[in-house]
Amino acid sequence: MILPPIPTPFDREGRLDTQAFRELAEALEPLVDGLLIYGSNGEGVHLTPEERARGLRALKPRKPFLVGLMEETVPQAERALLEAQEAGAMALLATPPRYYHASLGEGLVAYYKALAERMPIFLYHVPQNTKVDLPLSAVETLAQHPRITGIKDSSGDLTRLAFYQAHLRDDFRVFTGHAPTFLGALALGAEGGILAAANLAPRAYRSLLEAFRTGRLSEAQALQKRLFPLGNLLSRGGVPLLKQAMRHLGLPAGYPRPPYPQESPIWKEFRPVLEALKEEGWLL
């Protein structure tokens, strides 16, 4: 499966644009297998509770979707849990608590189990943003819970993917969020990708996944190599670069919420990569 973490559109003043949000989701959904709403590239940490609710109400996904959760405590998460349930999300994608992570101890496992009592949960390992490592021992323990059904790992650490394949139950769903190592993650058992780059090149990543699944490995390797600059630069440029690229392609992705910059300092480096892939027919 390929699921893009869709951006949340804000206007230049930082106001949520629900019409653009709906139009963006409707443009992307036919090209992919599902969506992630309010993930890292959806600026979930920048939204007020009221905005989260208003944005979810504006969307009517027909395909499976996840909703990101980046809170610190269960009481903070209650409203988002209820809204994701009411919207029909297949699961919440939850980062670990991070502000007091050094003293969290067994509270980490307790936090995820408390969330899972309310609805299915995907673990979310994204240390480049949270600055917190999700311990493999905790992942192994949590994967035994029947309502903790998967993980998105955006670290790019393929040794972690190897651990998941070797130690977790067969039906535990593993997705990578790291486009530069997408093919390696598939080779280590990942089901698919929840990739920022899939907002720009959904056909390309679905083609890569299909080539791998059908044993056309040389084709998959060539396509991974061709897509590497796209994923690598997006990993560096983050939300400002992704939104700028989507605006360039005519998509209503809006702007990052202030104080984050509206334009990326590496856009000049990224634009030729984008244009070349567009000429080859790999982009939207």
Task: Tell me whether residue 124 is one of the annotated catalytic residues.
Answer: yes
Residue 100 has a pLDDT of 85
The residue annotated as part of the active site, out of 38, 112, 124, 255, is: 124
Residue 177 has a pLDDT of 98
Residue 5 has a pLDDT of 98
Backbone angles phi, psi at 169, to 5 degrees: -60, 155
Consult the annotation and say whether 194 binds a ligand.
yes
What pTM does this model have?
0.96
Pairing mode, strands 65-69 and 148-153: unpaired
Parts of the chain with a pLDDT under 50: none
Element housing 279 (H / E): helix 267-279
Task: Tell me whether residue 225 is one of the annotated catalytic residues.
Answer: no
The residue annotated as part of the active site, out of 152, 164, 205, 255, is: 152
Residue 205 has a pLDDT of 98
Residue 284 has a pLDDT of 86
Q: Which two tokens stand for residue 78?
A: 């209650």
- Give pLDDT tens digits for 135-153: 999 999 999 999 999 999 9
Cα of first residue to Cα of last residue in the chain, in angstroms, is: 18
Burial of 225 (0-12, 13-18, 19+ CB in 10 A): exposed
**Residue 81 near residue 46, CB atoms below 8 Å:** no
Element housing 125 (H / E): strand 121-125
- Homologous superfamily of 2-280: Aldolase class I (3.20.20.70)
Residue 105 has a pLDDT of 86
